[in-house]
Copies of this chain bind each other. A is one copy, B any other.
Amino acid sequence: MKKVNNIAVLTSGGDAPGMNAAVRAVVRTGIYHDLNVYGVMYGYRGLLTDDIFPMESKSVANIIQRGGTVLKTARCLEFYEFEGRQKAYENLKKRNIEGLVVIGGDGSFNGAMKFSQEFDIPCIGLPGTIDKDIAGTDFTIGFDTAVNTAVEAIDKIRDTADAHDRLFIIEVMGRDAGYLALHSGIATGAENILIPEHTTTVDDIINDLQANERRKKMVNLIVVAEGHEAGGANGLAKRVKEKCPQLDTKVCILGHIQRGGSPSTMDRILASRMGYAAVDALLEGIHNVMIGIVNDKVAYTPLDKAVKAKQEIDPEWFKIVKILAS
């Protein structure tokens, strides 16, 4: 069955912890199957600039535990032009590369889809994003680490909130997806969570804060997704300060600390499994799919389906948040 001899791997979009574990798995699984595995630096940009190099087993030694990505990543507008993709194709073709593993988010899959439709390079996507907003998989590489980083940070903020009887409004990443906010909020016992996917409004939050104040509950943590229409933590804080000027309100924007750091066990295992499955898929002749894990089994989703849909958040979680934060 196996006809593939040369494959390449790249990381694209925002970096996510576990990307290195995925690269390691692709490289070593490839070598195990006697493939030549090429690394591409700086995502799609490296395809265009011919920043491509052969990788060995040693190239990926001791990286499973590292944050970031040894292959680096970058934006590359040219790849979204046909001429760019053609240049990319030529650089792959001259090395006889017959399969490309793209570790990244939906934007990156979008590019891979276009590329594979135009040229005969099968692409396999691995969902690497801390936002967890990709259809066709229960987990994405990086989410578990990022949410644990956010939780550790919020735990620290709670120490201070408790010491001072304060309200903290904490913004977490996730672009327009609320998973990071939801999970980190539940795990830290946040008094409220504001995410794009749910109907809690700024007015609801202000009502709750006023109710809490009446019953002398002064310590409050509110976790907000950066992409919420209220304008993130600063937007919400502005509204809260207008309506509850007597509260001691502070804002924390966790920011980029959520991207880096040594990946969690779950992300390392997930990335290892997905990287292994990506090579397996190429060998099996399965093309232009994203590797997902659904109910603890490998699942293939066509790259264009991985692009569009989003997971849904069960509304019962909001009931749980309310009850448990009481």
CB within 8 Å of B: which residues of A? 11, 15, 17, 24-25, 28-29, 31-32, 42, 57, 62, 64-69, 72-74, 138, 144, 147-149, 151, 153, 155-160, 162-165, 168, 183-184, 186-189, 250-262, 264-266, 268-269, 272-273, 276, 295-296, 320, 323-324, 326
How many monomers of this chain does the complex have?
Answer: 4
A151 / chain B contacts, CB cutoff of 8 Å: 265, 268
With contacts A28-B323, A29-B323, A164-B74 known, is A156 near B264, CB below 8 A?
Answer: no
Shortest CB distance A156–B (Å): 3
Most B-side CB within 10 Å, residue of A67, A268, A324: A324
Task: Given the known inter-chain contacts A260-B157, A264-B148, A272-B186, please indicate yes or no for A163 contacting B324, CB distance below 8 A.
Answer: no
- Which of A73, A148, A153, A158 has the most CB atoms of chain B within a 10 A radius of its CB? A153
A-B contact pairs, 19 of them (CB 8 A): A15-B163, A24-B324, A42-B165, A66-B159, A68-B158, A138-B296, A156-B260, A157-B260, A159-B260, A168-B256, A183-B269, A186-B268, A186-B269, A187-B268, A252-B256, A252-B257, A253-B253, A276-B320, A295-B296
In whole angstroms, what is the CA distance A168 to B256 when docked? 9
Q: How many Å from the CB of A20 to the closest CB on chain B? A: 10
Assembled-state Cα–Cα distance A158/B268 (Å):
16
Chain B residue nearest in CB terms to A273: B320
CB distance from A320 to the nearest CB of B (A): 5
Chain B residues whose CB sits within 8 angstroms of the CB of A158 once the complex forms: 62, 65, 68, 260
In whole angstroms, how far apart are the Cα atoms of A218 and B196 in the complex? 35
Give, as a whole number of angstroms, the nearest-CB distance from A234 to chain B.
11
Contacts of A250 in B (CB 8 A): 256
A295 nearest in chain B by CB position: B295
Q: Tell whether A266 pairs with B144 under 8 Å between CB atoms, given A160-B259, A261-B159.
A: yes
Residue of chain B at shortest CB distance from A29 = B323
Are A15 and B256 in touch, CB under 8 angstroms?
no
Tell me, rounded to whole Å, the shortest Cβ–Cβ distance linking A236 to chain B: 16
Instruction: Please tell me if the beta carbons of A257 and B157 are within 8 angstroms of each other in the complex.
Output: yes
A125 to chain B, nearest CB (A): 18
Answer whether A257 and B72 are a contact pair too, CB < 8 Å, given A57-B326, A187-B269: no
Contact partner of A265 (CB less than 8 A), chosen from B25, B68, B144, B189, is B144
Q: How far is the CA of A295 from the CA of B294 in the complex (A)?
A: 8
- Verify A156–B160 contact, CB threshold 8 A: no
Q: Tell me if B64 and A29 are in contact (CB < 8 A).
A: no
From B64, B159, B252, B262, contact of A189 by CB (8 A) = B64
Q: Are B144 and A257 in contact (CB under 8 A)?
A: no
A296 to B323, CA, bound (A): 20
Q: Is the CB of A260 within 8 A of B160?
A: yes
Closest 6 CB pairs between A and B?
A159-B260, A156-B260, A68-B159, A67-B159, A15-B163, A68-B163
Instruction: Give the distance in Å from the alpha carbon of A188 to the alpha carbon of B155 in the complex.
Output: 20
Q: Out of B296, B324, B326, which one reaches A272, CB within 8 Å?
A: B324
A153 neighbours in B (Cβ, 8 Å): 153, 257
